[in-house]
Each structure stands twice: as structure tokens, then as C-alpha cells.
Amino acid sequence: MKDTLEKLAFNRHRRLRSSKAMRSLVRETELTVDDLIYPLFVIEGNDIQNEVSSMPGVFQLSLDHLRAEIKDIQQLGIQAVLLFGIPKAKDAEGTGAYATDGIVQEATRLIKESFPEILVIADTCLCEYTSHGHCGVIHGQEVDNDASLPLLAETAVSQAKAGADIIAPSNMMDGFVVATRRALDDAGFTHIPIMSYAVKYASAFYGPFRDAADSTPEFGDRKTYQMDPANRREAIREAQADVEEGPDFIIVKPALSYLDIVRDVKNTVDLPVVAYNVSGEYSMVKAAAINGWVDEEAIVMEKLTAMKRAGADLIVTYFAKDVATWLKA
């Protein structure tokens, strides 16, 4: 047998896996706290700290609890948060989204006044604020693309005036990036970047988010404006169209089941690529971990590393605080 082996020619790949130190030395992909963006759900009212039933460890927070949360986030080394608002009242045109005293605007002011070094990313959509739960203006039973754009642009300007560092339009209306960019520039916010949800699929993985943000559509679904999960080439068309309109970041959402899309987008565009590790991806791991079926830390670190390996420069994740804690250990 020894003589037979000596005659065989093969590579000894295990040499570079021989110890923890050796594996670290040759590791190709590193996940750091600087890669993380933490989503927050801010709600109108006082003394509210509601845990989302389908997302253990995630809370709807009123402003009087937000300061303590941001302090905790900052101490963990997380540099950016993504704000979603939950208003007391909703209407057909989502006026709370662009109100001067809207919940995201007020939360932004609070964060920037107390923690100016924290980057505030404002999600720019109408779905949390409309009585029908859709991301734009409804005419009949359809979302009116062009009628929605001025309201979305107004929302972006309102968020920028409140102090948002980055505007993140997530509505998937055609032309939303150019409408947002033009409105920001006209209002004097040429320095504010846009983080575009350029590639956003109509995914079943969003279910728990809709509990958290109270944004389930009153009728129908969002398949006429969000993308078909079966389509790959369409993602490139969407990303390229957005690049022509002037964003500064490109988001792919969801992430875990769309790593091929993350890589395709990374290979196509010359902008930072953001992977959104969405609520369903979070809740499945949390449920399995609570039941003792998986090692939560190992699973989370593996899947977020996979997102970076696929090409993500940044990751939006509800696990951000957990990951920051694990990285410090």
C-alpha cells in the first residue's frame, strides 16, 4: 500500500487546515462588526417595548426606550442602524412617512443629537404608513407607480432634513432612485447617499417582518412590483438600471436563498453591495436554536460569512448585536 501511495500524484490540501492558527492564517473571508447594519423598529407612543412574537429578541421600541438601545449598540461597536417606523395612524397616502414629526424623523433626531457618530439609515417606503399596506398610492386595485414617486421623494427629503445619513428607498417603484436623487439634490442634500433596494424579491421570507412593522397588505400581494424569485437575469437588469439613476449602494434582499444573485450583482456593479439577512432567515435560526436543534452562534456566523464570501460588502441583520458580542469574545 505504501508503495502504491508513493506512486500516486495528488495535492495535500490538508496541510493548510492542520491547526486553528494555520486555518486563520489562510482564511479568505472575514466577518467584522464594521460589516453590520442593525435594523430597528420605532413605534409612536410611550413606554413601549414589544417583543415581536415571530422574531424572538427583536422589539418595537418607543422613543423613550430608543436611547438606551442605541447606547448598547454603540458599545458593541455597531456603526449603523436602519430605521423602520410604526405610526399610530395610517391613511391611504401614507402621510406619516413624510410628516415632519413622523416617527422615523423623530427617532433620527434623537439618535443624531445623542449619538452623532452613529450612522442613521432611513428606510424610505410607504407600506408601514398606508391604510392598505402597499408601498405606493392605490388607484383601483393597482399600485400607481408614477403617482407614488413624488410621495416617496418627499419622504426621502423629510428624512434627510431630520438628519438621516443615508436614504434607503425600498419601495421597488420604477424610477424611484432617480426621483429620490433629484429631490434630495433640489433640496440641497447632494451629499446624502442613497442605499437602493435595487434587487428586492417578492419573498415568503418577509413574513415575520410584517408582524414587526405592521405592514401586511390589506389586499393582494406585492408581486406586481417586487421581483419573481425564479428570475436571475432580471436582477442584473434591475441593478444596472438603478446604477444609471445614481445610487451609492445596492441592496440584494433576501440574502441567504439569493447568494447567487449577490455574486452576480457584485460582478456587475462597481458599488458597495449590501445583503439583507431578512426576518424569515432570522426567525428560522432562532426557532431552531430555542429548541436546541442547532448551535446558534455557529450557524449565524457561517451564514453571514457565506454572504460576505458571495460578495456582500455590508450585511443588514437582526443578528447584529449577537454577532458583535460573539466577535468580542
Can you tell me the distance from the alpha carbon of 70 to that of 322, in angstroms, rounded to the nearest whole number?
15
Can you tell me the distance from the alpha carbon of 329 to that of 324, in angstroms, rounded to the nearest whole number?
9
Three-state SS letters, 126-159: CCCCECCCCCCEEECCEEEHHHHHHHHHHHHHHH
Q: What H or E segment, with its residue span, contains residue 86? A: strand 80-86
Nine cell digits for residue 20: 486553528
The amino acid sitting at 72 is: D
**254 DSSP assignment:** S
Can you tell me the distance from the alpha carbon of 323 to that of 317, in angstroms, rounded to the nearest whole number?
9
Active site residue ranges: 200, 253
For residue 182, give the nearest of 113, 250, 247, 279 by alpha carbon.
247
Neighbours of 233 (CB within 10 A): 8
SS3 assignment, position 281: helix
β-pairing, 137-139 with 142-144? antiparallel
Neighbours of 280 (CB within 10 A): 20
Can you tell me the distance from the alpha carbon of 310 to that of 315, in angstroms, rounded to the nearest whole number?
12
In residues, how long is the chain? 329
Nine cell digits for residue 105: 424623523
Q: Around 286, how many Cα atoms within 13 Å sit in the side-chain half-sphere?
A: 18
